[in-house]
Structure 1
Amino acid sequence: MSLRNLLVFIVATTIFLPAASAAEAVKQRRFDYKSLQQRAADFVQQQVTAPENGRIEVIASGLDPRMQPKLCANDLQLSIAGNNELDSYSTVEIRCEGQQLWRTYVPVRIYEYRQVITAAGSMMNEHVISAGDLQLREVNVNNLRSQYYTEPDQLIGARIKRRVSAGDVISARDTCLVCEGEAVTITATSGNLTITATGVALADGLQGEAVTVRNQRSNKALQAHVSGLNEVKVGN
């Protein structure tokens, strides 16, 4: 090789090899624990739908902050681990396929927030609920273990069964229009004919809900719908 050609070769490799190395480095994307958790949260967020008058919050965690960043030249592949259905506690599997073959698992929590009925002030046992007793407040409904309500009309006129503090979510355990074990007026309607009788409620119920009551005269149990305080209706 002549001196001239040797000089050309040296210059060419000096110019182009670092450029090739830089291009290779661009392809090798780095993912630290924060970026992997964010990828998992975004993946789940795209699959859930916020409830009416509510919102969804997705939080991913569980990866060790000391984890060495992972490299991947290809697009990350995400799925729910084990092909399980998505629920409030899920795990996202993140995979890199290709030369840098690896996978990691990210725990994800899904929080559902809704505007629910809460107590505007303290209410004692036997108190009959009015509109002024109620207020809407955004609540994480994942933590609620009993039926909750979203419309004031569902509770107005109902009776408090146990003390409720200001700010508490009012649940099915706290109230009833018709209360188990208490006397009710049964109204049966057929065409233009209306008959009333007395009975005993065998379950709690709120406006419009179906409850079982026992006719005191016949001792028969029947299905009825709550129509008011201590009142149920049978038939149309």
Structure 2
Amino acid sequence: MFAEMVARFREAPMPSPLPNSGSSRAFLAAQEAVAVMYGWTNRVMRSGQAVLRMDADGFAAEASPLLRSMFEHVMALHWIKEQPSDAFQSTWRAWQKEVSKFQEAEAAGWELTDEVVALIDDLLTIETDESSRRVDNLLNTRHRAEKYGLGILYRSWLIETWTSHATFASAKAYYEVKDEGPFTLFESSPLLPPDLPILCAAAGRAALEAYNELLPDGFLTDDLESWKSRLGPTF
């Protein structure tokens, strides 16, 4: 099913820029939000393809960070679909905060090239509307999920977060301890992997549901209904 979703995404017309209505920060942010939605949707679809290739090659456990990224991008897509200007500006501020860490790194004695320093300075000088700060709470993944009814994807994201970072869960895939005996180590995880094709399809459909808002005449509407029926009530 996911392969069908990728094919339909590739067949869809590219979203068009918004009709010109000035040069305010709000309009320019909403304009670029269209491109961001395309970029995030493309990341979901390409990541899903990578996950399924890893699964086929016996690397299901190691695909966890990519799967986590898919779920996170889907939840962000539903946010920026509903609040394009504010969500774009809020996300930009979050990026500025991350970029500023490079400045702190330089202060700590890490050498950055003049080009990187200039790029950072340029990024940090771009201003956003104060009014857009009202949605900054939605930078939090849980808050996005709650607002847009994406609880199932949020729970899946949490599970993949546990196994994507350096946690007990990420290590436990490669060893076993029975009772009080010695541990047994494994080169690859012997645990039954999740149904990655279904998880990718669920994430893909949710991403395309948001992306479809940008397409003329609801290009993917019939496909979305078909995929929803085939995925079943869980998703």
TM-score under structure 1 length normalisation: 0.24
Relative contact order (alpha carbons < 8 A, sep ≥ 6): 1 or 2 greater? 2
Higher fraction of strand: 1
Going by fraction, where is helix more abundant, 1 or 2? Answer: 2
Which structure has the larger Rg over C-alpha atoms? 1
